[in-house]
A and B are shown apart, each in its own frame.
Chain A
Amino acid sequence: QKEVEQNSGPLSVPEGAIASLNCTYSDRGSQSFFWYRQYSGKSPELIMSIYSNGDKEDGRFTAQLNKASQYVSLLIRDSQPSDSATYLCAVKRFGGYNKLIFGAGTRLAVHP
Chain B
Amino acid sequence: EAQVTQNPRYLITVTGKKLTVTCSQNMNHEYMSWYRQDPGLGLRQIYYSMNVEVTDKGDVPEGYKVSRKEKRNFPLILESPSPNQTSLYFCASSFATGQGDTSYGYTFGSGTRLTVV
Interface residues of A (CB under 8 A from B): 31-32, 34, 41-46, 49, 51, 88, 90, 92, 94-95, 97-100, 102-105
In the complex, chain B residues whose CB is within 8 Å of the CB of A43: 90, 108-111
Contact digits for B79-117, partner A, Cβ 8 Å, 1 yes 0 no: 000000000101000101100111111111111010000
Contact partners of A92 in chain B: CB under 8 A:
97, 101-103
- Which residues 47-75 of B have a CB within 8 angstroms of A? 48, 50, 56, 58
Name the contact of A99 in the complex, choosing from B45, B108, B111 (C-beta under 8 A): B45
Answer whether A99 and B48 are a contact pair too, CB < 8 Å, given A31-B100, A31-B102, A92-B103: yes
Task: For A46, give its contact among B40, B56, B102, B107 (CB under 8 Å).
Answer: B107
In the assembled complex, the Cα of A44 lies from the Cα of B90 at a distance in Å of: 9
- The chain A residue with its CB closest to the CB of B102 is A32
B111 is contacted by which of A32, A42, A49, A105 (Cβ under 8 Å)? A42
In the complex the two chains form, what is the Cα distance from A36 to B108 in whole Å? Answer: 10
Q: Give me 12 A-to-B residue pairs in the complex whose CB atoms sit less than 8 angstroms apart, sorted by A's number.
A: A32-B101, A32-B103, A34-B105, A42-B111, A44-B43, A90-B106, A97-B97, A98-B104, A99-B45, A102-B43, A104-B41, A104-B42
